[in-house]
Structure 1
Amino acid sequence: MEALIIGDVQVGIVGFIPAAEGVLPPLAAAVAAARAKGVPVIYVRVALRADRAEVPARNPVATWMFEQGDLLQESSPQTAVHPAIAPQPGEPVLTKRRGSAFHGTDLDGILRARGITGVTLAGIATSGVVLATVIDAVERDYAITVLRDGCVDAETDVHEFLLDRIFPGRGARVVTAEQWIDGLG
């Protein structure tokens, strides 16, 4: 059994990365197909506490994230899952403080409790949540699929390199949302 995991497709992040709007139609189609076929859909959002509790000064990425103002502040509506792919009641929405969807969340426990052995990943950014989650999923022995058109990155060349070289090299299958939907049967 597999689950569709969508990371960091948030109101503010979609508005922050110009090409991000392009992932919404394929993701909406993938979410609808997953629901129709009984594939669990799990959302992960990145959000930081206002008190800077998880932002050490020595971590430049976390510091940069914190300095983006309400874009990534936990209480901000900017951190909500984008309405084009909004969760339905009963679909988990996990909050993370770092790159991987597994880090500091109960994602692994949710997957194992449901008998899920494979994950299909999508999100913003390819070099952020998707890369970190692929690496974590490999270490946890999940079968991995990445939705090519369900990911975007501010750096197109990095995005393509990850999809064409790094993810397949880690055992991930990289397909379009349409190919994934067709494979659902």
Structure 2
Amino acid sequence: MQNQEHKTALLIMDLQNGIVQHLGDNLEEALVPYEKAIKAAREHSIPVIFVRVGFSKGYPEISPNNKAFSAISNYGAMTVNDEATQIHKLVQPEGNEPVVTKYRVSAFAGSNLEMILRAQQIDTLVLSGISTGGVVLSTLREAADKDFKINVLADACFDRDQEVHKVLMEKIFPRQADVLTVDTWIDTLN
């Protein structure tokens, strides 16, 4: 059972079929830190919230001014029903674990994430996801502005640019969050 002063939630961000392929050829091995964090959270009654990016048919949420997302509407993928937007089978939600759909980079952007967190009186977030310079960075910044206490699981975050990952974990994130390994975080739960 969770025995903490703060009520915590683990965010598993963008571990969806169309994005996990960036982890490389040995996907099962690359997902181990995420699986380990999810298992520990469940064992300690810490809510696990899955976040994915997806769009409505016809992409009404995508502006042609949005450099990052406008290309998606041109090649016709990433709608909420596409296989690419579904959470990967190795890290599937269980029971009533929510799957939040976002429409931009931050997990908060256009989603009901903040409503869920406030309704559950969650004040501490544990962040993991793909990519470190994308969803993790954007969500961390917004969560800090919303006064959440934040932990980042360094080995349950991934960025194709290892230098970006390293700079964020060592120099940028520690200004607003505690950066831990999955094992260190699990040790704090016991």
TM-score, with length taken from structure 1: 0.93
| Residues 67/168 of structure 1: CA separation in 2 closer, same or farther (3 Å cut) | farther
Counterpart CA distance in 2 for 1:127 and 1:153 is: 7
The alpha carbon displacement at 1:107 in A equals 1.1
Counterpart CA distance in 2 for 1:87 and 1:64 is: 29
Counterpart CA distance in 2 for 1:132 and 1:86 is: 23
Counterpart CA distance in 2 for 1:50 and 1:88 is: 27
| Residues 30/116 of structure 1: CA separation in 2 closer, same or farther (3 Å cut) | same
- The alignment of Structure 1 onto Structure 2 pairs a total of residues equal to 183
Counterpart CA distance in 1 for 2:134 and 2:49 is: 17
| Residues 65/123 of structure 1: CA separation in 2 closer, same or farther (3 Å cut) | farther
Counterpart CA distance in 1 for 2:158 and 2:75 is: 19
Specify the alignment match of 2:155 in structure 1: 149
Question: Mind listing any 5+ residue stretches in structure 2 that lack a counterpart?
Answer: 1-6
The alpha carbon displacement at 1:83 in A equals 1.2
Report if aligned partners of 1:44, 1:93 keep a CA contact under 8 Å in 2.
Answer: yes
Q: Deviations over 1:11-65 (max 9, x none)?
A: 1211145278354101101101100100000000001223121111111101134
Specify the alignment match of 2:132 in structure 1: 126
Report if aligned partners of 1:66, 1:73 keep a CA contact under 8 Å in 2.
Answer: no
The alpha carbon displacement at 1:112 in A equals 1.4
> What is the one-letter code of the residue matched to 1:62?
F
Residue 31 of structure 2 aligns to a residue whose secondary structure is helix
Report if aligned partners of 2:11, 2:49 keep a CA contact under 8 Å in 1.
Answer: yes
Query: Matches of residues 58-137 of structure 1 in structure 2 within 5 Å?
Result: 58-67=65-74, 69-70=76-77, 72-137=78-143
Report if aligned partners of 2:23, 2:30 keep a CA contact under 8 Å in 1.
Answer: no
Specify the alignment match of 2:36 in structure 1: 29
> What is the one-letter code of the residue matched to 2:45?
G
Percent of paired sites with the same residue: 39
Report if aligned partners of 1:48, 1:66 keep a CA contact under 8 Å in 2.
Answer: no
The reply on whether 1:53 has 2:55 as its aligned counterpart is no
Q: Which moved more, 1:37-46 or 1:8-17?
A: 8-17
CA-atom RMSD in angstroms: 1.6
Question: Mind listing any 5+ residue stretches in structure 1 that lack a counterpart?
Answer: none
Report if aligned partners of 2:22, 2:160 keep a CA contact under 8 Å in 1.
Answer: no
